[in-house]
Amino acid sequence: MGLTVTASKTVPPGRLLTQVAGERQTGVLVVGGHPGGAVYVLEGRVIYAESPAAPGVGELLTASGRLAGRTWQNALDLGTSTARVGRLLVEQGHLTQGELELCVLGAIYDAAYFVLSSAAAPVEFLTGATHWLGPVVHVDPAAINREVGRRVGLLDEIFPDRRIDTAAVAPVTRPPRERVTLTSLQWELLVHADGQRTPADLALLLGRAGYATIQELRRMAAMGLLELPEARSETPEFVRLPRARGTAVDVERPVVRPQETPAVPVVAGARASVPAPDPPPDPPRHPLAEESGANQLVYRPPRLARRKPGAKLPKEVAGEPPPVHQGTDEVLLKRIRTALRALR
């Protein structure tokens, strides 16, 4: 009887793989989450593993130039329905058996890190499913679990931040030291990192293994060459509007109270007015204030009579004359001219 685990149940994927291997099951272990993936087993032995974060056999062979794209596509068209893609590549002479086995082993261990390294993830086992590549190698699940644990520990020793594995790669604008030594793979990653490509995108683009790509990226993060991704918050963030640096308002009109000067500014609006306190009997009234409503005084600008051109303003509105300009300092101008000539 086949083993079936509902997708809503969260368990360690590695432990479930061990259980499937002990019962010599045949099928696929589908692991959800991010990035997730699948592990294919045949009678309890792993024959293939895949993950969106790791290049598959086809990507590795075509991106590295070992196979032409049309050759790989032709093998897919002929052998996918019968799960004989790998065998066709060997029979037609495009690959040797050793080359194919080595490539499949690398793809299995590469994808297994992303599929099985999670402490808990939603999983489901589909009995009887098989991979279109066909059985090329048979790997002990216990060996895969041990290798996954070793790789997790190695990456944590380099730089203990798993966000580097899936976040978009963005180099720093300025290196933290004057001289930096890079490997060839690190140089390729820096050249192609544009702040949009993830480690999986870079691995597919360069035809490199996903784990090897992440290993170099963590080394570069430890050297301070990458921008660290921001931690995602569980609660949604509200948009904060920027504070206004200043406000544009109408001309301010002061409110005049009894026994005060008409120089108190108020916020401009339709017509500014404030309630006045209980006035004493027969309070003095400012000549520029008029009644407006119940016991309210509002500033009223004086009305100017028509005057002839060139006539002077009344004294109450003319104010003090502007200060007399003292003239230009000729000595200062000569110094400025001399300094400008020296700069030529």
Q: What is the pLDDT along the chain (344 residues), one digit of tens a residue?
A: 444 544 457 888 999 999 998 899 999 999 988 888 999 999 999 999 999 988 899 988 998 889 999 999 999 999 999 999 999 999 999 999 999 999 999 999 999 999 998 888 899 999 999 999 999 999 999 999 999 999 999 999 999 988 888 889 999 988 888 888 998 899 999 999 988 999 989 988 888 888 999 999 999 999 999 998 875 444 444 444 444 444 444 444 445 455 554 444 444 444 444 455 555 555 555 454 444 454 555 445 555 556 566 666 566 555 566 555 555 567 677 777 787 777 76
Are residues 136 and 205 located together in one domain of the fold?
A: no
Same domain, 120 and 212: no
Residue 184 and residue 116 share a domain = no
Domain boundary among 222, 241, 266: 222
Whether residue 133 is found in the same domain as residue 210: no
Residues 56 and 189 in one domain: no
Domain boundary among 109, 140, 158: 158
Provide the domain count of the chain: 2
Q: Do residue 74 and residue 196 come from a single domain?
A: no
Of 222, 254, 272, the last residue of a domain is 222
Is 0.85 topped by the overall pTM?
no
Q: Is 195 left (phi over 0), alpha (psi -120 to 50) or beta?
A: left
Strands (E), the chain: 10-11, 27-31, 37-42, 45-50, 121-127, 289-291, 297-299
Q: Is residue 34 part of a domain?
A: yes
Instruction: Give the helix ranges, DSSP H, for 183-329.
Output: 184-192, 199-206, 210-222, 315-318
Do residues 35 and 135 share a domain? yes
